């Protein structure tokens, strides 16, 4: 092998190492665990599953500790035909919706939610901190931001239920442009699974 050939081989080896490092980093930074939500009761033979999450202004750990996110995970695994009862402990301040239509509660059982125990079917779109939206299931729930001027309003507890079909993987996401510091607020956490994007695996 001449010198040029040896250099070419070295370059290939170096590229291989970089690709392998990228792959390992990618796997490590992707959320691996999903919540296998426990079933507590049944609704006409379909299991009722409770999922509890927090929305926080900064997740506080990992590659992007300052990113806004849903905790502890955005990956849920649920049984077929389940009724999912979500409890969101919403701890972030409002950013506001660009599309006021998303201030409506859509696709939930009863087309409503409760916020701190009060039944509601819409909020003022300017007061939304996040949404929990599953477009393929027609589900969208606006999550009202806390009132930063009221020291007692540290959490808004939002509860709603929706049904999943027999199988499938359903993407869900937030539609409030809450990615502060990114282009139009729609970058970073808004585009990254594990922060403002997730999936529901039925099966």
Interface residues toward Cu ion, by CB under 5 A: 130, 174, 176, 178, 196
Using CB positions, name the residue nearest to Cu ion: 174
Complex with Cu ion: residue 47 or 188, whichever CB lies closer: 188
Nearest CA-CA partner of 108 in 80, 73, 145, 133? 133
Complex with Cu ion: residue 59 or 196, whichever CB lies closer: 196
Non-local (6+) Cβ contacts of 41 within 8 A are 47, 48
Element (H, E) at 9: helix 3-29
Complex with Cu ion: residue 174 or 202, whichever CB lies closer: 174
CA–CA dist 198, 203 (Å, integer): 16
Closest approach of Cβ 8 to Cu ion, in Å? 48
Burial class (CB in 10 A: 0-12, 13-18, 19+), 21: exposed
Complex with Cu ion: residue 16 or 135, whichever CB lies closer: 135
Nearest CA-CA partner of 134 in 157, 166, 102? 102
Complex with Cu ion: residue 139 or 202, whichever CB lies closer: 139
Closest approach of Cβ 172 to Cu ion, in Å? 11
Closest approach of Cβ 174 to Cu ion, in Å? 3
CA–CA dist 110, 129 (Å, integer): 23
Closest approach of Cβ 68 to Cu ion, in Å? 6
Q: What's the half-sphere exposure (Cβ side, CA atoms, 13 Å) at 39?
A: 14
Closest approach of Cβ 44 to Cu ion, in Å? 33
């Amino acid at each position: 092998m001449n010198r040029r050939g040896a250099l070419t081989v070295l370059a290939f080896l170096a590229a291989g190492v970089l690709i392998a490092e990228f792959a390992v980093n990618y796997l490590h930074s992707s959320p691996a665990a999903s919540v296998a939500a426990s079933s507590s009761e049944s609704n006409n033979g379909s299991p009722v599953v409770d999922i509890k999450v927090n929305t926080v202004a900064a997740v506080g750990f990992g590659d992007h500790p300052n990113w806004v996110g849903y905790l502890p995970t955005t990956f849920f695994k649920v049984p077929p035909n389940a009724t999912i009862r979500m409890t969101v402990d919403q701890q972030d301040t409002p950013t506001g919706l660009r599309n006021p239509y998303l201030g409506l509660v859509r696709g939930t059982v009863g087309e409503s939610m409760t916020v701190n125990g009060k039944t509601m079917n819409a909020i003022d779109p300017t007061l939304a901190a996040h949404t929990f939206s599953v477009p393929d299931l027609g589900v969208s729930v606006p999550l009202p931001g806390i009132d930063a001027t009221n020291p007692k309003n540290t959490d808004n507890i939002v509860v709603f239920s929706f049904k999943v079909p027999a199988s499938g993987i359903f993407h869900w996401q937030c539609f409030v442009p809450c990615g502060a510091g990114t282009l139009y607020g729609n970058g970073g956490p808004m585009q990254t699974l594990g922060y403002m994007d997730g999936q529901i695996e039925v099966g």
